[in-house]
Amino acid sequence: NADELALVRAGRESNDRDQVDGKPVISDNDSFDLLTVACSPAMLWLCGQQICRASGYMFFASWFPTFLQETRGVSVAKSGYLQGLVFAGTLAGCIFGGIMTDWIWRRTGGLSLSRSAVGAASLGACSFLILVAWFVKSPELAVALLTLGSFFAALAGPAAFAAVIDIGGPRVPQVFGLMNMIGNFAAAACPFVVGKLFELTTNWNLVLLLFAGVYFAGAVCWVFVNPPRQAIKTTSKHRDSDKPQQTQ
């Protein structure tokens, strides 16, 4: 309708004013906003849980087949199949995590409950299941526990994305980019750290203890994430653009 068309045109005009020669202009306020969010406690804790989740996932994506071959005596082909089961748990957790996060939010209206509580409980459960798998000798049962653990770890993913929206305010892309970049650094370092741990100890079983601790640390980080408080306050420009348009 006419009101929607006017809103679209106003947004285009605003974007044109923020560009020079077709390139976006970063103002001092924008730089201050990015520094504010990067240094905020909520963002630091959110990045902390991302480090733990990303490094844990990368273990399953890199060293996990070797771990199964060395500690449970499975073949190369079977280790690849069992790795696929763990990834299936991750996929299911991502899907169900989004549904659960939205359901809790709709039922309770609590951001902390639908974000922080979901993340802390999920990673805490994952840590516990990995620890239990450490005592199990059967490769099938161990992988079943780890698959369930990866399911719970993935439950925290949608909660993290929702927390980015809650904390970021008008700077959601920057906030998500920061969190994702930090997680990628951890994921890149994970295979090296695991290899170094084995080189120093020659004990693959210690790897499970390491990642049980990593996921527990992620659960602790979630406890301190405070999504109701935006790290970046909405500027007057964004407030004006977010006002609902009155229809005649």
Q: How far is Cα 51 from Cα 62, in angstroms, rounded to an integer?
A: 16
Does residue 34 sit within a domain? no
Does residue 13 sit within a domain? no
Are the beta carbons of 164 and 46 closer than 8 angstroms?
A: yes
Which CATH number belongs to the domain containing residue 138 in this structure?
A: 1.20.1250.20
Range of 140's domain?
A: 41-230
Does residue 246 sit within a domain? no
pLDDT (mean) for 200-211:
89
pLDDT (mean) for 181-201:
92
pLDDT exceeds 80 at position 227: no
Q: Give CA separation, 157 vs 82, 118, 126, 154, in Å.
A: 22, 10, 13, 5
pLDDT more than 70, % of the chain:
78
pLDDT (mean) for 118-135:
95
Range in 12-16, 58-62, 78-82, 159-163 with the lowest mean pLDDT: 12-16
Task: Provide the token pair at 34.
Answer: 């990015």
Task: Provide the token pair at 70.
Answer: 């060395």
Q: Which three-class secondary structure state does DSSP give residue 114?
A: helix
Does residue 9 sit within a domain? no
Alpha-helical segments (H) within the chain: 2-17, 28-39, 41-61, 64-71, 76-108, 111-112, 118-134, 139-168, 172-201, 205-224, 236-242
Higher pLDDT, 32 or 246: 32
Does residue 2 sit within a domain? no
For the whole model, what pTM was predicted? 0.78
Range in 66-75, 96-105, 237-246 with the lowest mean pLDDT: 237-246
Q: How far is Cα 186 from Cα 58, in angstroms, rounded to an integer?
A: 9
pLDDT exceeds 80 at position 158: yes
Task: Provide the token pair at 12.
Answer: 């285009």
Does residue 12 sit within a domain? no
Does residue 20 sit within a domain? no
How many domains are there within the chain? 1
Does residue 224 sit within a domain? yes
Higher pLDDT, 33 or 65: 65
Range in 29-38, 68-77, 107-116, 159-168 with the lowest mean pLDDT: 29-38
What's the pLDDT tens digit per position in 43-89?
899 999 999 999 999 999 999 998 999 888 889 999 999 999 999 99
